[in-house]
Amino acid sequence: MRKAPALGAFLVKYDPCRKIRGGMILSGNLTLIVGPMYSGKTTELLSFVEIYKLGKKKIKVFKPSMDIRYGVEKVRAHSGIEEDAIPLENPEEILNIIDGDEKAIFIDEVQFLSVKVYDVAKKLVDEGIDVFCAGLDMTYKQNPFDTTSKLLSLANVVIKKRAVCFICGEHNATLSFKISGGESEIDIGGKEKYIAVCRDCYNKIQRGEIDVHSHIG
């Protein structure tokens, strides 16, 4: 594993294109994309990647190394679009990996990284680099993910996505519900483990008024 530098040691390279006003580097934006499973968070994240790439702006994409669903060095949306990504064990590795002249940094599945990503994101936006993070806001037990919650407090743009409810079909699912694979809240999975549901359907499942397994093919 790479050794993380002290946060203060990080210095952005001189870049004539950097946003500067009155001799001061303008800060970047932290955009946080949150929501339940299947709400299109990664698709939204990759649409921002596309915008920067179309503008021929230098970027880097990161993901937690524990998420190996689509290969260790790929971020892939459920829609199928994908992007090369650098796997991270520790968010502070980002400061060693970037060259300093990136216009934006993208992080997918950010809830699986430690809360140190908050300090890293703060450092990057203070240096004028835009940061985009996508991740789950809550576990399937409706407990907030610490990392996402901390980033929410720092973000100046928050995009809250909804999914289609697996039970009633309405586009108002804000919760993930686990249908198999035990009780662990930190448990990577896809359609075999999780469904997205609205709050009403979530509560009906909890009260035993809906048999979720009768809805699964």
Indicate the pairing of strand 30-35 with strand 130-136.
Answer: parallel
- State the nearest-atom distance from the C-beta of 39 to Zn ion, in Å: 14
Q: How many CB atoms lie within 10 A of CB 99?
A: 10
Residue nearer to Zn ion on the CB measure, 155 or 167: 167
194-213 positions binding Zn ion, by CB under 5 A: 198, 201
Q: Candidates 33, 95, 167, 195: give the one binding Zn ion (CB under 5 A).
A: 167
- State the nearest-atom distance from the C-beta of 40 to Zn ion, in Å: 17
Residue nearer to Zn ion on the CB measure, 37 or 165: 165
Q: Which amino acid is at 102?
A: E
Q: Candidates 125, 165, 196, 205: give the one binding Zn ion (CB under 5 A).
A: 165
Applying CB under 5 A, which part among 25-33, 100-108, 109-117, 191-199 lies near Zn ion? 191-199
Residues marked active site are found at 109
Contact 76, 82 (CB under 8 A): yes
> Cα–Cα distances in Å, from 132 out to 8, 26, 33, 166, 190?
22, 17, 8, 28, 23
Residue nearer to Zn ion on the CB measure, 18 or 162: 162
Q: How many CB atoms lie within 10 A of CB 79?
A: 10
Does the footprint of Zn ion cover residue 86 (CB under 5 A)? no
- State the nearest-atom distance from the C-beta of 162 to Zn ion, in Å: 11
DSSP letter for each residue of 126-159: HTT-EEEEEEESB-TTSPBPHHHHHHHHH-SEEE
How is the chain split among helix, strand and coil, in percent rounded to 5? 25, 25, 50
Residue nearer to Zn ion on the CB measure, 120 or 173: 173
- State the nearest-atom distance from the C-beta of 198 to Zn ion, in Å: 3
Give the number of residues in contact with Zn ion, rule: CB under 5 A.
Answer: 5
Applying CB under 5 A, the residues found at the interface with Zn ion are 165, 167-168, 198, 201
